[in-house]
Structure 1
Amino acid sequence: MRNQRFFFDPTKLPESINVLLFDTEGLKEREFISGLSVNYFYFKQQINYTPQINFIAIEEFNKNNCSLKQRYKTTLIVFLTDELWGSLDKVCLNNIFKLETVLIDAADFPRTNQKSHVVLNLNKKREYRSLLEHAKNNGSSNALIIDEERTSDKTILSQIWRELDGNVLGSYTSYRKSSQSLLSNILLIESSEERSRKLSRALSTSLESFPRRRKDIDSIILSVSLERARSLKPELEYNFGESLAVYLFPDWDNETFYLQKELDLEGIALIDLPWMLNSKATFIPELPTKRRGILLLDLMLMILHF
């Protein structure tokens, strides 16, 4: 939705990058390291940029009484979680903030307010609100919300949408093997057929039922994988009309790449986790350059903002 611009001299890329995190075994930390690795190989392939990356666990940092040795005095990425916040005192935080620092705030309760630093907030609820506010500002009001088993966030999306004075006309979970059942529920086909049967019995004559296109919905909010979105959007447009606005939160924990031409997602508004490219990808010799969503904002470029 917004493509932030950065200007940098590619000949002045940092030769060494230090990464401070709570540990290397936490779920958030493992996903972060995986995403950083994908970025590393992407830049290696694209511009042959291979900086030395040093991972610093908080235990090692605390053993040195938070003193900043020469090895820390390069570009520093701090992966902030609630655990890391709790393990650092004010002196340590002040020492960290004195460096050229990229703060990645993945805490459940973000607390960063460092205007002199680049801050990336990895908070799904905040991203949900951002896109839904965009939807409201563009005239959406009456929405259907669809998630899937992996994302399981239709409840929180419904809550935020109502807080923005939006109407939730239905919330559904899309299961891989029951697309027809999902559309039947959304289109109210079963209730329509039931009314037809009752009317047929009352009139003692056979009636044919043709479901009409619902006209009470102006937008669809999806929280599904890219693969599922490619299947759902054309089906929904066919049944509701192409004027329907569609907003997508792609599943962050997914291995699907963006395509060069996303014909099935054309016209969709989405918000993604761009710097990770693909948090579950392993190294591929010919890494696809396709996973470049609308908000491509690679972590390495963030480092160069100073």
Structure 2
Amino acid sequence: MRYDLDDLRLFVHVVTEGSITAGARRMHLSLPSASARVRALEAQAGLPLLIRERRGIRPTPAGSTLARHAESVLAETTRLDSAVASYTAAPRRPVVLVAGASGMHRLVPRALTTFLRAYPEYDVSVSERPTPDSLRLLADGEADLGIVLHDEAGDTDLRIEQLSEDHLVVIGQAGGVLTGRTGMTYREAAEHPMVGLSQESSLRQWIDRHLPANAPVARYRTQVPDLHSLITLATAGAGLAIAPRPAVTPRPDLDICPLQDSWSLRRHLLAHGTRRSASRRATNALADHIRAAASS
């Protein structure tokens, strides 16, 4: 059987409204035209699809089945139109998002996963930046949104809102020096071999800036460019590591110990840029998805 999409759309409206008249109104059709379309559907199906009553209509079992599948077909058609339109529409300037290492590891991917799925017509340009660089880009109109750290935001004219807390922890292979510990200072961690992030990492730069002048020099067995590699090496026993708590998934082969230094508790903020975005709707929507990712 071959179905006309307008006929299916009309039938869904008729069943939803409980009236051919109301269904015709929603499709901007005359009542005789709508009635003829419904009768043609029944003739094609070879059985009644509607029970006509004095106060309206109700679907037969076959009519209910047709309406349910028609809704799925129409929804899939809408998604198809949107997907094709994303290639044919004029290219839009992407939304520009900047964030530090801890935000890039989990918060940004979660937000992008839901945003890009919900808005196939919009693109996002993402880059990892330390908070001072992010604030500069936002103030200069070169970025739309930024995930920045509270204690480095200082006095700024940018619109800022609270987002989430980010506590640094010490991690290491299960059964090692962290076993049974409920807390550890950086000074204690630095007594053991460590693995760290590279000097270019925004998190590494943040840690180095906050260490006191008399902090011991850690022995880094190796330095890696991203948190995934850092956590993998610490889990394998290569050395202790300092990482953001939200980035570390609990697992049997990994011990997690809160870092007790005063600078270990950080607060993420969502900062809004000054540039006139190509699409304010896209920027606002991405901000909503970032908030939802932070709250989850």
In the superposition, the TM-score normalised over structure 2's length comes to: 0.30
Q: Which has the larger radius of gyration?
A: 2
Q: Which has the higher strand share?
A: 2
Q: Which has the higher helix share?
A: 2
